[in-house]
């Protein structure tokens, strides 16, 4: 015979447990306003949502309601809600065309890219180097530009950690750290250490005036076809953390360059959406 008293005890225990769970859930819910929960559940559908950053997303959302949820998540993932050079991490990738280096992601002082090769002196000064994939693409681009009547020259390419250290210290001593940080990368944080980027000029203008040259217009229309992007555009300084540099181009490969050009985004944004935690 089944003992009726025992069954009643079991049912009571189950009911008490259920009540406890429901009360517990409600208690948690009280700490987050209903609107925030709706926002978070929408954010969770975006595939680069990171549950560790939930509170930061909400705070950034409340401060930037004009931005899309994709932009909120992208910018928090990039650490843009934190001061430059805080929350920094070492790049998890080495010797890849898709390494991201910015004011939150750095390379070790010992990092020297593999496959560094010399650039031809017909378009650069002696001793300049780039990673081979970037150099090959650069030469194709420069040769086509030349056929079209434009003379693009390389003024700076790979820079070692120590070179950047000297450069940054010189700027810092002259202008102070705050000012130097607006135009020069700290050692380890310079994209030039990747061996994947170049500063260019046109034989007729100084590199800082590159945007005034017809070569610049040519680059705007064609660089992506060779895998290069304008890395620090004028209207993206709040995302890249760098003032506009019309002369600084980064090799990311044709596929990524084409996407960035088509969607008018930065490499930083591309990285969060398609590379970070996915490669």
191 is catalytic: no
Binding of Zn ion at residue 97 (CB under 5 A)?
A: no
Strand pairing partners for 124? 154
Nearest to Zn ion of 49, 267 (CB atom)? 267
- Smallest gap from residue 157 Cβ to Zn ion (A): 9
* Segment near Zn ion (CB under 5 A); pick from 35-43, 55-63, 136-144, 243-251: 243-251
Share in percent of the chain as helix, strand, coil (round to 5): 55, 15, 35
- Smallest gap from residue 246 Cβ to Zn ion (A): 11
* Segment near Zn ion (CB under 5 A); pick from 31-39, 166-174, 200-208, 248-256: 248-256
Binding of Zn ion at residue 201 (CB under 5 A)?
A: no
Nearest to Zn ion of 56, 248 (CB atom)? 248
Burial class (CB in 10 A: 0-12, 13-18, 19+), 42: exposed
* Segment near Zn ion (CB under 5 A); pick from 60-68, 111-119, 162-170, 196-204: 196-204
Binding of Zn ion at residue 231 (CB under 5 A)?
A: no
Nearest residue by C-beta to Zn ion? Answer: 248
Q: How many helices and strands (H and E) does the chain possess?
A: 11, 8
- Smallest gap from residue 251 Cβ to Zn ion (A): 12
Binding of Zn ion at residue 248 (CB under 5 A)?
A: yes
Binding of Zn ion at residue 250 (CB under 5 A)?
A: no
* Segment near Zn ion (CB under 5 A); pick from 1-9, 58-66, 144-152, 195-203: 195-203
3-state per-residue secondary structure call for 10-48: HHHHHHHHHHHHHHHHHHHHHHCCHHHHHHHHHHCCCCC
* Cα 144 from Cα 258, distance rounded (Å): 18
Nearest to Zn ion of 210, 270 (CB atom)? 210
Catalytic residue among 63, 221, 245, 269: 245
Binding of Zn ion at residue 199 (CB under 5 A)?
A: yes
Place of tokens 């030349």: 146
- Smallest gap from residue 53 Cβ to Zn ion (A): 30
Binding of Zn ion at residue 96 (CB under 5 A)?
A: no
Binding of Zn ion at residue 159 (CB under 5 A)?
A: no
- Strands, DSSP E only, in 132-217? 152-156, 197-202
Encode 82-110: b = buried (16+ Cβ within 10 Å), e = exposed. Answer: eebeeebeebebeebbbbbbbbbbbbeee
Neighbours of 124 (CB within 10 A): 22
* Cα 125 from Cα 162, distance rounded (Å): 20
Q: By CB under 5 A, how many residues form the interface with Zn ion?
A: 2
Nearest to Zn ion of 186, 248 (CB atom)? 248
Nearest to Zn ion of 199, 269 (CB atom)? 199
Neighbours of 144 (CB within 10 A): 15
What element of type H or E holds 235?
Answer: none
Nearest to Zn ion of 199, 201 (CB atom)? 199
User: Residues in the site for Zn ion, rule: CB under 5 A?
Assistant: 199, 248
Positions marked active-site:
245
């Amino acid at each position: 015979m089944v003992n009726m008293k025992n069954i009643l005890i079991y049912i009571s225990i189950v009911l008490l447990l259920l009540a406890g769970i429901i009360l517990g859930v409600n208690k948690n819910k009280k700490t987050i306003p209903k609107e925030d929960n709706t926002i978070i559940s929408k954010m969770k559908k975006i595939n680069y949502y990171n549950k560790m950053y939930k509170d930061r997303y909400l705070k950034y959302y409340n401060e930037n309601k004009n931005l899309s949820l994709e932009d909120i998540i992208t910018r928090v993932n990039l650490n843009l809600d934190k001061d430059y050079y805080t929350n920094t991490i070492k790049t998890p990738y080495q010797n890849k065309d898709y390494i991201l280096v910015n004011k939150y992601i750095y390379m070790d002082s010992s990092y020297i890219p593999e496959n560094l090769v010399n650039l031809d002196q017909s378009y650069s000064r002696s001793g300049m180097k780039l990673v081979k994939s970037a150099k090959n693409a650069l030469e194709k681009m420069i040769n086509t530009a030349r056929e079209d009547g434009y003379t693009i020259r390389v003024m700076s390419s790979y820079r070692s950690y120590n070179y950047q250290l000297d450069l940054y210290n010189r700027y810092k001593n002259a202008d102070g750290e705050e000012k130097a940080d607006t135009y020069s990368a700290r050692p380890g944080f310079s994209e030039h250490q990747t061996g994947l980027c170049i500063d260019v000029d046109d034989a007729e203008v100084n590199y800082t005036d590159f945007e005034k040259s017809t070569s610049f217009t040519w680059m705007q229309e064609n660089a992506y076809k060779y895998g290069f992007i304008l890395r620090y555009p004028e209207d993206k300084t709040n995302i890249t953390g760098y003032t506009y540099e019309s002369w600084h181009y980064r090799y990311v490969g044709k596929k990524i360059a084409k996407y960035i050009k088509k969607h008018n985004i930065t490499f930083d944004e591309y990285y969060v959406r398609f590379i970070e935690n996915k490669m």
